[in-house]
Amino acid sequence: MILEKKKAFNDFALSKGLRSTRQRDVILDVFLSTHQHISVEELYLKIKSSNTGIGHATVYRTLKLFAESGLAREILLHDGQTRYEHVIAGEHHDHLVCTKCNSIVEFEDETIEKLQKEIAARHGFLIKSHKMEIYGYCAVCKQL
Amino acid sequence: MILEKKKAFNDFALSKGLRSTRQRDVILDVFLSTHQHISVEELYLKIKSSNTGIGHATVYRTLKLFAESGLAREILLHDGQTRYEHVIAGEHHDHLVCTKCNSIVEFEDETIEKLQKEIAARHGFLIKSHKMEIYGYCAVCKQL
DNA sequence: CTGTAAACTGAAATTGAATATCAAGAGCAT
DNA sequence: ATGCTCTTGATATTCAATTTCAGTTTACAG
Ligand SMILES: [Mn+2]
Ligand SMILES: [Mn+2]
Ligand SMILES: [Zn+2]
Ligand SMILES: [Zn+2]
- Give the distance between the most distant pair of CA atoms in chain B: 53
The whole-angstrom separation of Cα A81 and Cα A83 is 6
**Domains of chain B: which residue ranges?**
2-86, 94-143
Alpha-carbon torsion (A81, A87, A90, A95), positive or negative: negative
Q: How many CB atoms lie within 10 A of CB A72?
A: 24
CATH topology of domain B94-143: Dna Ligase; domain 1 (3.30.1490)
Model pLDDT, residue B52 = 80
- By C-alpha to C1' distance, C18 is nearest to B60
Which pTM does this prediction carry? 0.91
Which pLDDT value is given to residue A14? 93
Confidence (pLDDT) at A50: 81
Query: Which nucleotides of strand C lie under 7 Å from a protein CB?
Result: 6-12, 16-21, 26-28
Q: What is the pLDDT of residue A53?
A: 87
Read off the pLDDT of each residue in A137-143 and give the average, rounded to a whole number. 95
Q: What percent of chain B is predicted at pLDDT more than 90?
A: 92
What pLDDT digit, counting tens, does each position of B47-89 carry? Answer: 998 778 899 999 999 999 999 999 999 999 999 999 999 999 9
Model pLDDT, residue B1? 83
pLDDT tens sequence across B64-73? 999 999 999 9
CA distance B115 to chain A (A): 7
pLDDT at site A144: 84
Q: What is the architecture, at CATH level 2, of domain B2-86?
A: Orthogonal Bundle (1.10)
B144 touches A at CB < 8 Å: no
Q: Chain A contact for B21, CB < 8 A?
A: no
Q: Strand (E) positions, chain B?
A: 38-39, 72-76, 82-86, 94-98, 104-107, 126-137
Q: What is the pLDDT of residue B53?
A: 86
Average pLDDT, chain B: 95
pLDDT at A90: 92
pLDDT in tens, A77-126: 999 999 999 999 999 999 999 999 999 999 999 999 999 999 999 999 99
Cα Rg of chain A, angstroms: 17
User: Which residue does chain B place closest to A115, by CA atoms?
Assistant: B112
A25 pLDDT higher than 90: yes
Per-residue pLDDT of A33-64, as tens digits, reads 999 999 999 999 999 988 788 999 999 999 99
Task: For residue A67, report the phi and psi dihedrals to the nearest 5 degrees.
Answer: -65, -45
Q: How far apart are CA A17 and CA A30, in angstroms?
A: 23
pLDDT reported for residue B51: 75
pLDDT value for A37: 97
B119, pLDDT greater than 80: yes
Distance A54 CA to C7 C1' (A): 17
Let me know if the fold of A2-86 is the same as that of A94-143. Answer: no
Check A142 against B124: CB less than 8 A apart: yes
- What value does the mean pLDDT take over residues B6-24? 96
B112 pLDDT more than 90: yes
